Structure 1
Amino acid sequence: MDHQKDLSQSSIVIIGSGLAGLTVIRELRKLDKTTPITLVTREPGYFYSKPMLSTALASNKSAEQLVSTDAAGMATQLEVTILGEVDVSAIDTDSQTIETSKGKISYGKLVLGLGADQIRLPLQGNAAKEVITVNDLEEYAKFRKAIEGKKRVAILGAGLIGCEFANDLVLGSYEVDVIDLAPQALGRLLPNEAAQALQAKLSEAGVRWHFGTTVQSIDRNGDCLTITLANGSTITSDVFLSAVGLKPRIDLAHAAGIGTDIGITVNRQLATSAKNVFAIGDCAEVEGLVLPYVMPIMQAARALAPNLLEQEAALTYPAMPVMVKTPALPTIVSPPAKDAVGTWKILPVEGGLEARFESDDGQLLGFALLGTATAQRGALTKELPPILQ
């Protein structure tokens, strides 16, 4: 019980041990070494680099090898109490407590770093339950077990994660089919010409594309899966991976009466509608923006830490290009804002392609750099307007 009593004294409680939660703790410890911090997580509390999940096969790393620091090491390094493998079922914003599988915990300030879930499309067929998603280390370990000794993997989704996994799997000598309703790869990020260049390089590496269609049903026939597409064609595979996008985890906040939209809505201080409750990372929505990438998390953590210590800081987002980990054709993209008005200009260069999204008066509002053109990243990023200033 003493342990429980100590926990109730924690002035900052963070739910979620992903990059968002851990980066906030690191930023807090730069400013304050003594404030008690408790990290509550349904994972064991170890640290691993989530972006490496989609490149681990080719770099010959098992799920276990991706863990760089265990929970005890993290607790010592960050001077925090880590409650691993603990589920949070409710937040009471009036009494400033959270209900967990290990009992009630009080907070002075609460940070929701809940992350996001893989979107799962409802699929027909007797093998619909065999669809795999990879959103954390444990799911990745299951995926690696599923593909062991197998040859063919089908991927639903030709977005960032789908393309990265496709490239990683062909490098591991798997046959890969990628299915997407869109007419091209990276539909939300790349202009058509850039997508065609990436697709061509991945095709050369062994990826087969199925665009403009989706999965009708997935059935098990002995050792194989038969995937029937909406266009009538079928694919035979051993394993089916779904990578159609992420959905912020908002249920816990919503049930507590905290404001939500696509994500948990926060202001520039990362504060939610509830007093002393903040949100960060893939679950948070700042002025209509949900940005599930590493750089926005780092920016947000630097703004959130001072606010948790009653110091004023406001979040700004500079231009933050995203690297797509496709060794077949390295790609860096900084997509224009949703409401940006302009046109794509395509500049082929030797060994790559530079695509610039420019306004009518020639201002650079976004870009996509492929192959050798990725060397332009620094110069072009300086020309871009900030995402949030």
Structure 2
Amino acid sequence: MTAPLIIIGTGLAGYNLAREYRKLAPEAPLQLISADGGDFYSKPMLSTALASQKSAAQLVMKPVEKMAEELRAEIWTETPVLRLDPAQRRVHTARGELAYSQLVLALGADAFAPPLAGDAAGQVLQVNDLADYARFRAALAGREQVLLLGAGLIGCEFAQDLASNGIQVTVVDPAGWPLSRLLPEAAGRYLQGRLEALGVRFCFGQSAQAVEQAAGRYAVQLADGSALQADLVLSAIGLRPRTQLAAEAGLAVARGIVVDRQLRSSDAQIYALGDCAEVAGLVLPYVQPIMQSARVLAANLAGQAPLLSYPAMPVLVKTPACPTIVCPPLTAGGEWECQALEGGLRALYRDGAGRLLGFALLGSATTERAALSAQLPAWLG
């Protein structure tokens, strides 16, 4: 019996790869391994689900049984992978060993755990999957004040979602403005103003040092010695690609699992895609690169040999109080040009020759997305 293609991971990357592969190889043996329940849901919805009044169960788009039926695949759920054996082409799991013909790592990324002291540091919540979201919703019941660590993309989306539902939100970040890694200051300040109008409070230039219990609430100690009170503390300070399994198996790892433009790792029979993968030096934890990678990898697994390319792919920040679209420049050496518009702001990043390398569009400026995207060079040509 031919060993199956095995995909480790049933998130957006794993399931979309399986779907694309089934189009090209309808009868090939296929198995997926999931560390969780394996139900299919949209992870980007986790930071906006309060506004849609959806519970964790309601975010499930298809149960794992339906996914197994549609993919004609065997899916092992609640099955941690213990180690890989590339020499023998075997996966060792908590449920037993499996042989593979080809292996795909769609492991995703872990949320950064902030290094906090204090007797309540272990009660700081993070939302990185459906189970996390269920715990967050349960903990949020009856709470009025949330302290949010991180003013990046996910942090701003959570701040919008919470404030829109009547929760008092304070956001703490060591940077000087929201989305500081994606937006120039003028654009970040514009976004800040719109979120503040919604009721969000920002505390920039500060980092949390400790979290203590305080009369049924939490006291968060900041670097300057001050403290903030909250009913709940949520951390959204970023993601770290899951590389440990690959590194322990001897695969090349840098910021992510190093793969070539066919998504092949340093082992010829092992591939990686999604948040855990590093392609040509790029780690892009966004939906469009994942979908692009899934199509290319499926073709490679089916015996074709396409190379992955990335056009410039704008990122939508889900903050309805200030619609924001960012196409970050992937190279330095340019400068931002910001222009206030009626109801919005346009920020263009140009190099010394005047070539457009990136943009940020806020409010009314988001209508320029298509025209500006057409002027950008490919991220990976």
- State the TM-score, normalizing by the size of structure 2: 0.99
Aligned equivalents of 2:197, 2:226: Cα separation in 1: 22
How big is the shift at 1:32? 1.6
Identity of aligned residues (%): 50
Aligned position for 1:347:
339
Superposed counterparts of 1:173-192, under 5 Å = 173-192=166-185
Residue 366 (str. 1) matches residue 377 (str. 2) = no
Task: For structure 2, list consecutive stretches of 5 or more residues without a partner in the other structure.
Answer: none
How big is the shift at 1:349? 1.3
Residue 34 (str. 1) matches residue 27 (str. 2) = yes
How big is the shift at 1:80? 1.1
Aligned position for 1:293:
286
Partner of 1:378, secondary structure, is: helix
Aligned equivalents of 1:231, 1:202: Cα separation in 2: 25
Aligned position for 1:376:
368
8 Å contact 1:336–1:367 — kept in the other structure?
yes
Partner of 1:383, secondary structure, is: coil
Partner of 2:188, secondary structure, is: helix
Aligned equivalents of 2:149, 2:214: Cα separation in 1: 19
Candidates 365, 382, 385, aligned match of 2:377: 385
Candidates 89, 97, 102, aligned match of 2:90: 97
How big is the shift at 1:11? 2.3
Partner of 1:299, secondary structure, is: helix
Aligned position for 1:272:
265
8 Å contact 1:225–1:237 — kept in the other structure?
yes
8 Å contact 2:109–2:242 — kept in the other structure?
yes
Aligned position for 2:18:
25
Candidates 281, 284, 308, aligned match of 2:301: 308
8 Å contact 1:177–1:207 — kept in the other structure?
yes
How big is the shift at 1:83? 0.8
How big is the shift at 1:232? 2.3
8 Å contact 2:115–2:209 — kept in the other structure?
no
8 Å contact 1:10–1:38 — kept in the other structure?
no
8 Å contact 1:86–1:102 — kept in the other structure?
yes
Aligned equivalents of 1:55, 1:295: Cα separation in 2: 18
Aligned equivalents of 1:213, 1:348: Cα separation in 2: 28
Aligned equivalents of 2:278, 2:339: Cα separation in 1: 34
4+ long deviations beyond 6 Å? none
Candidates 354, 357, 382, aligned match of 2:349: 357
How big is the shift at 1:275? 2.4
Aligned equivalents of 1:11, 1:224: Cα separation in 2: 51
How big is the shift at 1:287? 1.2
Partner of 2:126, secondary structure, is: coil
Residue 195 (str. 1) matches residue 169 (str. 2) = no
8 Å contact 1:93–1:275 — kept in the other structure?
no
Partner of 2:171, secondary structure, is: strand
Q: Partner letter of residue 194 of structure 1?
A: A
8 Å contact 2:264–2:270 — kept in the other structure?
yes
Task: For structure 1, list consecutive stretches of 5 or more residues without a partner in the other structure.
Answer: 1-5
Candidates 217, 224, 229, aligned match of 2:217: 224
Aligned position for 2:233:
240
Aligned equivalents of 2:268, 2:86: Cα separation in 1: 7
How big is the shift at 1:341? 1.7
Residue 161 (str. 1) matches residue 154 (str. 2) = yes
Aligned equivalents of 1:107, 1:352: Cα separation in 2: 52
Aligned position for 2:73:
80
The number of residues matched between the two structures is 381
Q: Partner letter of residue 72 of structure 1?
A: E
